[in-house]
């Protein structure tokens, strides 16, 4: 019997969205700290949302090339279980952040073609988890959360990377089961695929996504 797939719902910004993710059985909830994002939340808002999350569900802060001062503020304000680094942080920066904050770090890595997989081994030795996401299109405003999938065949037979990893990018209730089947992913992450409009989470879509991913 394979392990049950663990789901992360990212970009939550309201009590209703958090309740929907928790109620559906998500194992991770993500808060986005990136001012240009329609999912951006202030640290004080995230702290209130985090208080709604029962023990056992990991509260993840998504940041993009955040400074030490920005991370210090986040970690001091929000009760977090993990930092997700979604910018161009180097392996050395990942190591620094991990040491400074004492929290597990998940590094997001963009994939569009086979050559993009080479970076994964470099980060696997420094990050606690990896988020394998679609590479954002050239000139995109957002480095993630664009609802774009990559060619999942690139990940066939990759289920034995040395670190836990999540599949992300363009997943939705209709395609997540196939994505899991093709990649062997044991964890999946979604944001725009469970929204009714950019930044607006849809509780029914969240429930449908978790059900499809864990079926
Ligand atoms: O969601 C955002 O607005 C965002 C902004 C800046 C960096 C990353 C961002 N999102 C990443 C995610 O929410 C997910 O981790 C992942 O990339 C999946 O996104 P999606 O394709 O929308 O499901």
- Segment 114-142, tens digit of pLDDT: 999 989 989 999 999 999 999 998 888 89
Please check whether residue 134 lies inside any domain of the structure. Answer: yes
- Segment 99-111, tens digit of pLDDT: 999 999 999 999 9
Q: How far is CA 136 from CA 90, 118, 145, 183, 204, in A?
A: 18, 17, 9, 20, 27
Question: Who contacts 93 (Cβ-Cβ below 8 Å, separation ≥6)?
Answer: 85
The interface predicted TM-score (ipTM) is 0.96
Number of neighbours of residue 103 by Cβ within 10 angstroms: 17
- Asked if residue 129 lies in contact with residue 85, where contact means CB atoms within 8 angstroms, the answer is no
Q: How far is CA 79 from CA 10, 44, 57, in A?
A: 16, 11, 12
Q: Ligand 1 center to residue 158 CA distance, Å? A: 22
- Segment 58-84, tens digit of pLDDT: 999 999 999 999 999 999 999 999 999
Q: What is the mean pLDDT of residues 7-25?
A: 98
pLDDT for residue 160: 62
* pLDDT, greater one: 163 or 189: 189
- The residue to mutate among 35, 83, 145, 205, having the most atoms of ligand 1 within 8 angstroms of its beta carbon, is 145
Q: How confident is the model at residue 158 (pLDDT cuts 50, 70, 90)?
A: low
- Which candidate in 10, 128, 157, 202 is catalytic? 10
Q: How far is CA 113 from the centre of its chain?
A: 20
- What's 99's DSSP letter? H
Please check whether residue 26 lies inside any domain of the structure. Answer: yes
pLDDT for residue 157: 66
Please check whether residue 100 lies inside any domain of the structure. Answer: yes
Residue range of the domain that includes 97: 6-214
Question: Residue 147's domain is classified under what CATH number?
Answer: 3.20.20.70
Burial class of residue 19 in the structure, from the number of CB atoms within 10 Å of its CB (0-12 exposed, 13-18 middle, 19+ buried): middle
Q: Is 110 in the pocket of ligand 1 (CB under 6 A)?
A: no
Please check whether residue 91 lies inside any domain of the structure. Answer: yes
Please check whether residue 18 lies inside any domain of the structure. Answer: yes
Read off the tokens for 1.
Answer: 């019997």
Q: How far is CA 94 from CA 74, 106, 122, in A?
A: 16, 9, 11
* Residue 214, pLDDT above cutoff 50: yes
Quote the pTM value.
0.95
Please check whether residue 1 lies inside any domain of the structure. Answer: no
Q: Is 170 in the pocket of ligand 1 (CB under 6 A)?
A: yes
Please check whether residue 43 lies inside any domain of the structure. Answer: yes
Q: Which of 123, 128, 110, 113 is nearest to 58 (CA)?
A: 128
Quote the number of domains for the chain. Answer: 1
């Amino acid at each position: 019997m394979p392990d049950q797939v663990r789901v992360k719902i990212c970009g939550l910004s309201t009590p209703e969205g958090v309740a929907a993710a928790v109620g559906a059985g998500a194992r991770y909830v993500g808060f986005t700290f990136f001012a240009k994002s329609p999912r951006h939340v202030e640290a004080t808002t995230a702290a209130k949302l985090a208080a709604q999350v029962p023990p056992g569900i990991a509260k993840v802060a998504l940041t993009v090339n955040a400074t030490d001062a920005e991370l210090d503020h986040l970690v001091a304000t929000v009760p977090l279980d993990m930092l997700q680094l979604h910018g161009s942080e180097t392996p050395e920066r990942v190591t620094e952040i991990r040491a400074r904050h004492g929290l597990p770090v998940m590094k997001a890595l963009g994939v569009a073609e086979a050559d993009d997989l080479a970076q994964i081994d470099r980060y696997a030795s420094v990050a606690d988890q990896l988020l394998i996401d679609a590479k954002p299109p050239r000139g995109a405003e957002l480095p993630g959360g664009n609802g774009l999938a990559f060619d999942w065949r690139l990940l066939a037979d990759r289920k034995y990377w040395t670190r836990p990893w999540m599949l992300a990018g363009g997943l939705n209730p209709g395609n997540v089961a196939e994505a899991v089947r093709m990649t062997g992913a044991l964890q999946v992450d979604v944001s725009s695929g469970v929204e009714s409009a950019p930044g607006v989470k849809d509780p029914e879509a969240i429930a449908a996504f978790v059900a499809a991913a864990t079926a």
